[in-house]
Amino acid sequence: MKLLQRLKKTKIGSSIQYHIQPRKVKFEWHNTPVDWVPEQPFVSYFINEINMILPAGEFWFCRLYNKVLPQIQDEKLKQDVQAFILQEAMHAQAHNSANKEYLCERHIDIQRNLDVMDFLFGKLLADQPLGLNIPKPLQHQWDLFRLGIIATVEHMTCVLGKYALYNTEWQKSGADPAMLDLVKWHGAEEIEHRTVAFDLYRHLGGGYLARYYLSVVVIAAVLGLWVDGTAHIMQQDPRFKSIRPAIYKPWIWREWYAISQRNNGLLPNPLWLISQQLGYLMPWYDPVHEAKTEDAIAYLNQSPAALRAMLKVA
Ligand SMILES: [Fe+2]
Ligand SMILES: [Fe+2]
């Protein structure tokens, strides 16, 4: 009994002292061209695809976190999770606004890519996967598996967040300010809340070894969905008609790699992205050391979309 009480007391809680700040944002898409990085259609489509990938997943994070919220015994971690939910919901809304007011307005068919993500997060990874009832004794394991996926994805979003936050090449290439702000604002908030998913996963009993297979599953899924979705929207552009990009054709992978080498900083190198997963597998991994919160906050304090939303409220 005493041991149980001691274990309860030492249960891993929040690993941060600061309070995560949910922010409202407002993006204006009237002037954003399809090639939002001028003369870089591949780069523009590649990054535009994240608008389709993210919302379904982020709303799924919110649903699952709301479900497990009553199980959290650490008050600060509970506050972190609540702020995380508000931030992720705002990310999803912001990317949805880009889908509706920017990509659809430019006559890009995004529905097929949205349907893939809806199937994945609305059906396959739902509380009842593909409509199947999970037996009661296994429900916690199913939740834990999904929380592990979120923790692994959040390591990757922190890595990508750093890449976006410190990127200077997009701006040098004359990138559209709205898309630039969207990726930097999102990246900065990913850095700000980088500890939450990992803390929550461990708090609710997530183990160390699962990180290995979760990493393999997540990296393969993210790269596959990203390239497949990009190929689908690129195919609609007459400039890529003769190539007809597809996930199974080496061209799109080679081109991604070549651009990341040629134009240092316009796209992250796929091999670098995979290598960034290694740190997550180390027993001493601690997301606090993955990035600098103060750099993220410095950007967030002057993000045009966040300032515009504040003016609207005032
Ligand atoms: Fe996010
Ligand atoms: Fe996140």
Is residue 138 scored above 90 in pLDDT? yes
Alpha-carbon distance of 277 to 10, in angstroms, equals: 28
How many angstroms does the Cα of residue 159 sit away from the middle of ligand 2? 11
Q: Above pLDDT 90, what percent of the chain?
A: 93
Report the pLDDT averaged over residues 254-275. 92
Is residue 18 scored above 60 in pLDDT? yes
* Joined tokens for residue 136: 């009661």
Q: Above pLDDT 70, what percent of the chain?
A: 95
Q: Which ligand is nearest to the CA of 196?
A: 2
* Joined tokens for residue 46: 């590649």
Q: Would you place residue 310 in the very low, low, confident or very high pLDDT band (cuts 50, 70, 90)?
A: confident
Residue type, 302: Q
How many angstroms does the Cα of residue 300 sit away from the middle of ligand 1? 14
Q: Given its phi and psi angles, is residue 267 left (phi above 0), alpha (psi -120 to 50 degrees) or beta? A: beta
Q: Which ligand is nearest to the CA of 65?
A: 2
Is residue 19 scored above 60 in pLDDT? yes
How many angstroms does the Cα of residue 163 sit away from the middle of ligand 1? 14
Closest-CA residue to 98 (of 167, 46, 163, 29): 29
Sign of CA dihedral 203, 206, 207, 211: negative
Give me the residues near ligand 2 (ion), CB cutoff below 5 Å. 157, 190
Do 29 and 101 contact (CB within 8 A), yes or no?
A: yes
In DSSP notation, 142-168 reads: HHHHHHHHHHHHHHHHHHHHHHHHT--
* CA 296 to each of CA 29, 276, 303: distance values in angstroms, whole numbers, following the listed order: 24, 19, 10
Amino acid 7: pLDDT: 42
Report the pLDDT averaged over residues 281-289. 94
How many angstroms does the Cα of residue 2 sit away from the middle of ligand 1? 40
Amino acid 15: pLDDT: 95
* Joined tokens for residue 77: 């971690």
CA 196 to chain centre: 13
How many angstroms does the Cα of residue 24 sit away from the middle of ligand 1? 13
Is residue 104 scored above 90 in pLDDT? yes
Residues, the chain:
314
How many angstroms does the Cα of residue 261 sit away from the middle of ligand 1? 27
- Please tell me what DSSP assigns to residue 300: H
Q: Which ligand is nearest to the CA of 54?
A: 1
How many angstroms does the Cα of residue 27 sit away from the middle of ligand 2? 19
Amino acid 311: pLDDT: 77
CA 269 to chain centre: 17
Which of 264 and 168 is assigned the larger pLDDT?
A: 168
Report the pLDDT averaged over residues 286-309. 95
Amino acid 246: pLDDT: 97
- The structural domains of the chain, ordered by start, are 33-313 (1.20.1260)
Q: What is the pLDDT of residues 192-208, one digit of tens each?
A: 999 999 999 999 999 99
Q: What is the mean pLDDT of the chain?
A: 94
- Residue ranges in the chain assigned as alpha helix (H): 2-9, 41-48, 50-68, 75-98, 111-118, 136-165, 169-172, 177-192, 196-203, 210-235, 250-262, 270-275, 277-281, 293-300, 304-313
Report the pLDDT averaged over residues 87-116. 98
- Please tell me what DSSP assigns to residue 179: H
How many angstroms does the Cα of residue 131 sit away from the middle of ligand 1? 27
Which of 7 and 50 is assigned the larger pLDDT?
A: 50
Do 95 and 55 contact (CB within 8 A), yes or no?
A: yes
Helix axes 50-68, 210-235, angle to 10 degrees: 140
Amino acid 5: pLDDT: 47
Report the pLDDT averaged over residues 74-98. 98
Amino acid 236: pLDDT: 97
Is residue 263 scored above 60 in pLDDT? yes
Report the pLDDT averaged over residues 34-46. 98
Closest-CA residue to 27 (of 84, 102, 139, 78): 102
How many angstroms does the Cα of residue 54 sit away from the middle of ligand 2? 10
How many angstroms does the Cα of residue 157 sit away from the middle of ligand 2? 6
Report the pLDDT averaged over residues 174-184. 98
